[in-house]
A = this chain, B = another copy of it.
């Protein structure tokens, strides 16, 4: 391949970086790939970093030395985050979404590629320095969110099952009492998480926090540390949750099933202190 012009190199570099968040890419390998001098690459990377930072898209971290490399660390602007929660609130806030039993239908919102991607980026930006080696969720509705978050953190995603499955091999199972006061099971393949790992727990919805608490307990069985908890939507009541320090994108104010009214406000993501 012939030598690339600066503008061409910048397209390629931007693409390579954006597609591999948090992964350290070797400058030497990139210089080879693009048939360019490292000094030119460094100038290109400076331009890319400048645009990313001025737009609040994140940053590039460069590592000096013979094994010099560069890493794209996704960021997210708080004003765009608030705009996102308003958008989600407008979508979910129509009374038509209240299901019998007081549940809120939100499967379509978590199935929308842009809404999902943004939620993943927001969690990845918030937990960029938490040191998570894995993103963990429990089936089923938290999975898309965990996939999006893991993509932007550049770490693998692990799914805890509701039952022991033949396709997962030897597993560790625990029982817990769910919000509906039924005894439920969680099961995780022994192969899935190495001891001493650090994980970010992600889930779509949290009321009292029983499910997340059970996930944290299951992690203890694996001698794994939970370094953060990201929830798409948590309820305002009960205020006394079974876990503390969670980060929710949105808060669902106690809603009125009879009047078909729902109110969604920004979550703990936007508070100074995490609840």
Chain B residues with CB below 8 A from A141, complex form = 159, 167
Interface residues on A, range: 35 or more
Q: Do A55 and B147 have beta carbons less than 8 Å apart?
A: no
Q: Which residues of B contact A154 (CB under 8 A)?
A: 113
Interface hits, A15-65 → B, CB 8 Å? 15, 18-20, 23, 44, 47-48, 50-52, 55, 57
Which chain B residues lie closer than 8 Å to A191 at the CB level? 105, 107-108
Query: B156 to A113, Cβ gap below 8 A?
Result: yes
* Chain B residue contacts of A159, Cβ below 8 A: 107, 111, 140-141, 144
Residue contacts A-B, CB under 8 angstroms, 25 given? A7-B7, A8-B47, A10-B14, A11-B14, A11-B51, A11-B52, A12-B55, A14-B15, A14-B18, A18-B19, A105-B191, A107-B159, A107-B168, A107-B191, A107-B192, A111-B157, A113-B151, A113-B154, A113-B155, A116-B151, A140-B159, A141-B167, A144-B147, A147-B147, A147-B148
- Asked whether any CB of chain B lies closer than 8 Å to the CB of A112, the reply is yes
Whether A8 lies near B51 (C-beta < 8 A) is yes
Q: Which residue of B lies closest to A121 (CB)?
A: B19
Report how many copies the assembly holds. 2
A219-236 interface bits toward B, Cβ cutoff 8 Å, 1 = contact, 0 = none: 000000000000000000
Contact B157 A99 (CB under 8 A): no
Q: How far is the CA of A140 from the CA of B141 in the complex (A)?
A: 10
A139 at the interface (CB under 8 A from B): yes
Chain B positions within 8 Å of A144 at CB level: 143, 147, 157, 159
Contact A117 B19 (CB under 8 A): yes
Having A6-B7, A100-B166, one finds 19 other A-B pairs with CB under 8 Å, namely A7-B7, A7-B44, A11-B47, A12-B51, A15-B18, A15-B52, A19-B117, A20-B114, A99-B166, A105-B167, A105-B168, A105-B189, A105-B191, A108-B156, A111-B156, A113-B155, A116-B151, A139-B139, A140-B143
